Structure 1
């Protein structure tokens, strides 16, 4: 009897054919996103994929329907935990912050952090986002071609470090920019490997990662210690770039001051862990959405012109603010369609606690479960001509006609991304300012991608710029 055919556990889960001994290991290594798509196209919405040699073989139960995603993330979320090897590697590098914690640790952190992510509070960061976007636009004045993936990564990183650290962001941004790629590559390689050497062994990879972690921890710990020593406040009321940074307004100050009678407060190590998770989740996801929105608009001049017309009509020459999000519906649809085609989290992993059924198929206790926005966002039942770029898929009427989890770039259920409003705020403001200043033409028609901790571009996404000033 195979693992996927337990008696009484529902229909047997079909298996994607692989090769003898290794299963689908080589396919997953060379093109995991394409492998998941093929699995859905050949076998339907619940598919078992095996990978690795006997004795080290992994079995993945892949769930591709909106209803299955809702079950895993929403209605039965307690049965699907972040207990797999990938999340353990993230914990060991970035700490037990909001992304990786579970059970009472997670509930306590969420209660302390939630008040800092209200719409009113997040809207107050619009000025910092606009200031950083203006710096990017100024840097492009002499440029003819830019790689939008690189540029949006730098923009999003500068914005999130400034919002986290206030005027201390200038110190942190270079360290994060240098260390994060080393650490994320290390986490990714270990998280998907069937066996790993201990981190303490002095291998070249371990030593590189340890040095990067030491440097990253040191800068975060120094800023945290200074903030705690000053009562949780930054010292400057306005930074050199003109973005408001009033004492106590940056996110680290708010985290340092977060407390309740039941949950106490974050200590220094917990503050560092929250900061690292916010840096990880807060810049790579937004950068992906912005970069691929620009890439898609550069390839579709009609939609680019329509978005620019809306921005010009609504904003004129003034700096966008939080209230403008509701006044820019087409631009918002552009971003949602970019997030459909290029979700920043293309694959999400969980581990089943108890045996259950998903879409009528039996999934055993202990199984590694994969849900894949990359595939669900292209599900033919909900997305006709799924690879076509069409922002009007996200009119209110079209959204209401689809299942809730046909589109879920921010996850869902009790662990939905706490920063989704911030991500949309930053993306809409930055994209509006960029489109008002420049016209884009794609140099690279296709950008190969793969899955890392977040979606990654495996090649350049270059665009030719034409200034619209004057």
Structure 2
């Protein structure tokens, strides 16, 4: 029997603020507790009277599939958070909708075929080799693996995007992205914001960072477009500038910049999370680490891996999938309901802010035995078939599934194989706290001691 929206269960929270303080202090823990105490469809309220927001959280695999796939047209990226991302990072594939999204997807899709993405493997292995060389020359053998992987994935995606202009882009992105990201996060979850053009200190800092980031992208784009056919390059920026179809035309300079910014945002922080936590988990689980190293050594025999090796490294792939189960880079995915929709026997009203949460669904005891335990063997083909499709969805799903998921897996597996070929890792920090920015991020160090493999 379908219940009314008013009867969707949820925590009472505080009389004046609802669950606002709990969500601000530990949103992921609050969602886990909400599922445990109230079920798979939960209504949370947050904020003072007059500014109170309602949030409908959907935690089952079946509910996630409904929101992201089967009823995807009814759940749009119209919430305040996506609007803030859109205003700061542009109207690229992550944030665009309707005809804009379909046109962009058609133009960009040929650049993300498996064959094309496999061609980016050299950029990944070049940057990984450079990082390993720096580790060999460092005085300390202790590294923060999440921080190191953030640097690695940024340089790799910048090399793929910008080619020979990688150096001029990386320094600006490293300086500006944290400022803009924190600004987006703060505004996206605030019940009231001052206009962006008011000269407050926060607005001015974010505007300066945005201007600097836009300027370096625009300069490189202008250079590529001026070179035209003479560029003859295969970096992603050159390919974006050349993308064309009779139906969709081409990207103008502003549209290219929007895509570049979204690729930079989504293409390095997410993979850095997966790689960094994979290394930390292996450092805490020496038996699984040695099995992963043995597989890499058997397949590669000391040579640099390539795209063709991805399918030959199934255990490393399982390690990455299990890492993305425990530490999904997008731990929460938000939408806004267009019309009232029944999910799991409850009615979610029209206009409601709705979220699905890989962080919670990936720990749901209905789908995962001992969900907090690190066990790559969960991802054998046989066990995959036993679970609902959306029991694991670190790349989202449905028509808005991440276009770069093959690249993320390729980059992660190749880099992991190279690192394990040179070093054994032992965790110095047994636990690493996390919080939610635009993506999942470590809230403390993930230090590991490196010992060269004999």
TM-score (norm 2): 0.98
Matched residue count: 452
> Equivalent residue of 1:146, what SS?
strand
Shift of 1:410: 0.3
Contact persistence 2:329–2:440 (CA under 8 A): yes
Shift of 1:128: 0.8
Once residues 460 and 54 of structure 1 are traced to their aligned partners in structure 2, the CA distance between those partners, rounded to angstroms, is 38
Work out which of the residue numbers 282, 288, 306 in structure 2 matches 1:303.
288
Work out which of the residue numbers 41, 61, 66 in structure 2 matches 1:66.
61
Q: Which residue pairs with 1:376 in the alignment?
A: 361
Q: Which residue pairs with 1:415 in the alignment?
A: 400
2:216 corresponds to 1:219: yes
Write the mapping of 1:313-352 to structure 2, written as runs, cut at 5 A. Answer: 313-352=298-337
> Equivalent residue of 2:233, what SS?
coil
Cα root mean square deviation, aligned:
1.2
Once residues 12 and 356 of structure 1 are traced to their aligned partners in structure 2, the CA distance between those partners, rounded to angstroms, is 14
Q: Show CA shifts across 1:426-451 (max 9, x none).
A: 00000000000100000000000011
Q: Which residue pairs with 1:109 in the alignment?
A: 104
Shift of 1:17: 2.2
Q: Which residue pairs with 2:90 in the alignment?
A: 95
Write the mapping of 1:170-319 to structure 2, written as runs, cut at 5 A. Answer: 170-231=167-228, 234=231, 247-319=232-304
Shift of 1:99: 0.2
Shift of 1:248: 2.0
Contact persistence 2:5–2:349 (CA under 8 A): no
> Equivalent residue of 1:284, what SS?
helix
Work out which of the residue numbers 75, 78, 83 in structure 1 matches 2:78.
83
Q: Which residue pairs with 1:445 in the alignment?
A: 430
Distance 1:226 1:54, change over 3 A: same
Q: Which residue pairs with 1:122 in the alignment?
A: 117
Q: Which residue pairs with 1:145 in the alignment?
A: 142
Once residues 73 and 122 of structure 1 are traced to their aligned partners in structure 2, the CA distance between those partners, rounded to angstroms, is 25
Shift of 1:169: 1.0
Shift of 1:15: 1.5
Q: Show CA shifts across 1:110-145 (max 9, x none).
A: 000000000000000111100000011011113310
Q: Show CA shifts across 1:20-75 (max 9, x none).
A: 10000000000000000000000110000000001111100000000000000000
2:351 corresponds to 1:356: no
> Equivalent residue of 2:7, what SS?
coil
TM-score (norm 1): 0.95
